[in-house]
Structure 1
Amino acid sequence: MSGRLPLAGGEASRTACARALLRSGVDEESGEVLSQAVLAQRVGWCADLLAGMVSGLLAERWNCADVEVLASGHDAGGRKLPSNAWMALRRLGWTVTAPVGVRVNDRVVRMAQEQAGRVLRSAWWRAGLTGGVLATWPADPRQRTAQEWEQVRKAVPGGEHLPSSIIKSRTRQAAKFLAANGRLPADVFEMEGAPKVARMLLLAACDRQQATIERSDTDPAKVLLRLQLPTRPDPRAYADWTWVACPIMLPPTVPASAVLHLPTLRVAGRQVRADVAYTHAVPKARRTGHTVAVGVDWGLNTLLCAGALRLQEDGRITELGAGG
């Protein structure tokens, strides 16, 4: 299901995500009903193929120069890179290849490039943080002086607002490398190897030639996801890929009028979980006139605490039940 979300006056669009479960599927070519375990196996075969391709691309591009090029947002000709990671990688000429003898279509390659591109883009912030820590290495890594704290915060992007625990964690990581190698690492890419690749299918990088999603005409909570999956762990030809139809029940938090997007599939044991993104209409946020506020705090021991308050007509502020 795709298309533009119709908005009325005073409305804005908001994108959210809901978790769903793929309990079964039907192989459209053979008519075979796939159990939850068999469906998880076939999704897992596809995820393993993708993970191998993503790992190869990350191993090739896991360096400061390539990550900086991607983070700059422009190609060698000065043109702005597309926002989609897979399109940006193709503009840069960064390709992935399937294992020898394995046949995958271009949409599967897109998913691999999208996943690798997201990982490489996320590494740039860590590179800047690690670079700032290494450039202002303290005399005693276990205890910085006030002047050394000021220096490292100036060297780290956005360091004035960064929690001290994050800088300390990077310092301990670099100190461990120093103890093992007798020198500081050159950058985060020497200090950390290429990250492990998650087994998942980013269907958002595909089009109708690989996956579709449609609501039921009779019940908007019922959704049919169709996607191509391999019939063997090492598909040798396009004939080894078949369309599988998977019914999904959406949770009641997804509005009936929401526009659905292709989900991300993750294999968890003998189950396939789907993170279904959707866009729905909400009232535009106002600058004034609010009577309810939510206060949120986060920390290391307690990840997130929140509480809601209401402004009464007489000016009193009261709590809205318990916090969470």
Structure 2
Amino acid sequence: MARTATARVLLRSGVDEKTGEVVTARVVAERVGWVADLVAGMATGLLAEYWNVDDVARLASGVDDAGRVLPSNAWMALRRLGWGVTAPEGVRVNDRIVRMAQEQAGRILRGAHHRAEMVAGILATWPADPDRRTLTEWDAVREAIPDARSLPSSVIKARTRQITAFLNENARLPVDVFDLEDPPNAARMLVLAAVDRQQATLERADDDPARALLRLQLPVRPDPRSYADWTWVACPITLPPTVPPDAVLHLPTLRPTTGPRGDRTHADLAFSHPVPKTQRKGHTTALGVDWGLNTLLSAGAVHRQDDGRITALGAGRCSGPVG
């Protein structure tokens, strides 16, 4: 079976294919940042326009007005619904840049549906004392929220505190989550999974499976006025050892950042590779994970020896029955 994972890599340099000039990591981050600003601006505009209960429910329904199933890709689903967006006046971008904006906005709007259902359930069963629900009130709120039986109580409590703060400030309960929260701003990133070869390509090097080449179109100015202001930049990537040599590489998500080390571009690189199908029994190694009080997670791995003993990997030995 196939497993998909993600590795974070750094774009250290590039080559402008039009001029042949070497592009430094700082310039690559600057150009990626220009595109990310354009995409984030368009995505934020989409979020502001469709941040309401009716449109989010329409997208979450999974079908369009004609009853056809919406595509799984968020940008395609938004286009099926007629939710378009254009670049700022005077700026020239190709359709793939618009796709990335629609993809990012669509993912956020799809995720908002669960929050909308949760807030609606809490409002419909608003307790007499928001700081201390009775057992009956806990049962009522879990019945009102879809699939809430497995929802941690802390999540419901956090939303209740958020609604209480709104109530104290506005002297009324919010109508829904879209009244409770302002439209979010889109992050500065490029979801290259939404584009095709006319915007970006990624290929592994023939002579070295630990290296790959990312080619993408980037502007030479923050406000490109024509297609001539866009050029192909080839960025070599060194793959970490966690990426198997036979893994299939997928276009990454680029995140330009600014820090003490200067402007940088990180790439969240997804890859798929075959792994043995997981069996329900017969395992000899187990990993136990638990929530910690002072740390987020506490974990430990153990291995069952041939004689039945259990060895704690890297932390001595412990004996006991195998569960």
Q: TM-score range by the shorter chain?
A: over 0.9
- 2:4 aligns with 15
3-state SS of paired residue (1:233): coil
Give the whole-Å Cα distance in 1 for the aligned partners of 2:131 and 2:58.
34
1:268 offset after TM fit, Å? Answer: 1.1
Give the whole-Å Cα distance in 2 for the aligned partners of 1:119 and 1:153.
24
> Which range moves more in the overlay, 200-209 or 296-305?
296-305
Give the whole-Å Cα distance in 2 for the aligned partners of 1:245 and 1:287.
45
3-state SS of paired residue (1:199): coil
| 2:232 aligned residue (237, 243, 250) | 243
| 1:138 aligned residue (108, 111, 127) | 127
3-state SS of paired residue (1:15): strand
Structure 2: 5+ residue runs without aligned partners? 317-323
3-state SS of paired residue (1:161): coil
For residues 201-231 of structure 1, the C-alpha deviation after alignment (integer angstroms, 9 at most, x for no partner) is: 0001111000001111111111110000011
For residues 250-297 of structure 1, the C-alpha deviation after alignment (integer angstroms, 9 at most, x for no partner) is: 101111111100010001110000111101111111122111121222
* 1:76 and 2:102 matched: no
CA RMSD after TM alignment: 1.4
Give the whole-Å Cα distance in 2 for the aligned partners of 1:275 and 1:226.
15
Counterparts of 1:37-52 in structure 2, within 5 Å, are 37-52=26-41
Counterparts of 1:173-188 in structure 2, within 5 Å, are 173-188=162-177
3-state SS of paired residue (1:125): helix
- 1:302 aligns with 295
Give the whole-Å Cα distance in 2 for the aligned partners of 1:250 and 1:40.
19
- 1:280 aligns with 273
1:38 offset after TM fit, Å? Answer: 1.0
Give the whole-Å Cα distance in 1 for the aligned partners of 2:249 and 2:71.
22
For residues 149-188 of structure 1, the C-alpha deviation after alignment (integer angstroms, 9 at most, x for no partner) is: 1111111222222211111110010011111111100110
Amino acid at match of 1:144: R
Give the whole-Å Cα distance in 2 for the aligned partners of 1:261 and 1:161.
33
1:196 offset after TM fit, Å? Answer: 2.1
Counterparts of 1:237-276 in structure 2, within 5 Å, are 237-269=226-258, 270-276=263-269
1:299 offset after TM fit, Å? Answer: 5.8
- 2:186 aligns with 197
The change in CA–CA distance for 1:299 and 1:112 in structure 2 (over 3 A counts) is farther
For residues 95-141 of structure 1, the C-alpha deviation after alignment (integer angstroms, 9 at most, x for no partner) is: 11100111110111111111111100111111111111111111111
The change in CA–CA distance for 1:71 and 1:47 in structure 2 (over 3 A counts) is same
Amino acid at match of 2:273: H
TM-score by length of 2: 0.93
* 1:129 and 2:128 matched: no
* 1:291 and 2:284 matched: yes
The change in CA–CA distance for 1:197 and 1:322 in structure 2 (over 3 A counts) is farther
* 1:97 and 2:90 matched: no
> Which range moves more in the overlay, 204-213 or 290-299?
290-299
1:314 offset after TM fit, Å? Answer: 3.6
Counting matched residue pairs gives 312
